[in-house]
Structure 1
Amino acid sequence: MAVVSPDPVPRYADMLAAMGSEPRLRIVRLLLTAHPAGMVAGEIGSHLQIAAPTLSHHLERLRREGVVKVRRDGTYLWYTAHAEALEELLQFLFAECCTRSCACDPGRIIHPGL
């Protein structure tokens, strides 16, 4: 019997919703620039001028939806962008929403301005 893979749309919708606020999108962008080493919460907050309680809320939402990963190193929590999950999301958007429907020119996405 063939194994049917679950529909990825709900997962990707949750990931997009998690990134759907300006502070969280800025966090993801910052963590991608720090990839693969990541950053501790204090660095993120300092860089983006986000208070610790607010930052904690945003990081937890991003972690819960699989957009960021966290690891403990002594007393520090290091946050990294979940690059593999973000890559899967981009592949889905590219394949399902752009290429299949011919709504977007793949060349302009990969090489903007050409």
Structure 2
Amino acid sequence: MKKEKTIAALAALAQESRLDVFRMLVQSGPEGLPAGEIGARLGVPSPTLSFHLNHLKHAGLVTCRRDSRSIIYSADFKAMTDLISYLTENCCRGQAELCAPAACKPARAINGKQLRSAEREKVSA
């Protein structure tokens, strides 16, 4: 991922509503969600939601497709992976074996609750 795309993606996610939308789309998986359902779940008016979705789409973080009368939005998982890879490519001086075991692993969630490092170790055991 190029630096310009990384900056655009991070800028798009640096707003509370857009971050909430993106996280919801990631949780929904590749099937995505209709725009109306996203707005209803988050309590965001249609014009505001449209603005935020367009911002995420322009940054390359979401895709959309038409399904009958609905527009279905999905997280672009390749773009998300590319962003994470760009941010962590030099983690621990480029030597993954130097990193602490959980340093570059995403947090696991159980019942929608993010777990801290110590809690993840208890669950994994």
Q: Is the aligned partner of 1:99 residue 2:99?
A: no
Partner AA of 1:100 in structure 2: R
C-alpha separation in 1, matches of 2:100 and 2:80: 18
* Aligned 8 A contact 1:31 1:80 in 2: yes
Alignment counterpart, residue 33 of structure 1, candidates 11, 15, 27: 27
Partner AA of 1:94 in structure 2: T
Name the structure 2 match of 1:109: 104
* Aligned 8 A contact 1:71 1:78 in 2: yes
CA shift, 1:75, in A, is 1.2
SS of aligned partner of 2:63: strand
What is the aligned-residue identity percentage? 33
C-alpha separation in 1, matches of 2:92 and 2:83: 14
Partner AA of 2:104 in structure 1: I
Partner AA of 2:93 in structure 1: R
Matches of residues 1-114 of structure 1 in structure 2 within 5 Å? 8-96=2-90, 98-100=91-93, 105=99, 107=101, 108-110=103-105, 112-113=117-118
CA shift, 1:55, in A, is 0.2
* Aligned 8 A contact 1:99 1:106 in 2: no
Counterparts in 2 of 1:57 and 1:93: CA distance versus 1, 3 Å: same
Tell me the matched-pair count.
Answer: 106
C-alpha separation in 2, matches of 1:66 and 1:34: 18
User: Which ranges of structure 2 fall in alignment gaps of 5 or more residues?
Assistant: 108-116
* Aligned 8 A contact 1:39 1:79 in 2: yes
C-alpha separation in 1, matches of 2:87 and 2:49: 28
TM-score, scaled to structure 1: 0.84
User: Which ranges of structure 1 fall in alignment gaps of 5 or more residues?
Assistant: 1-6
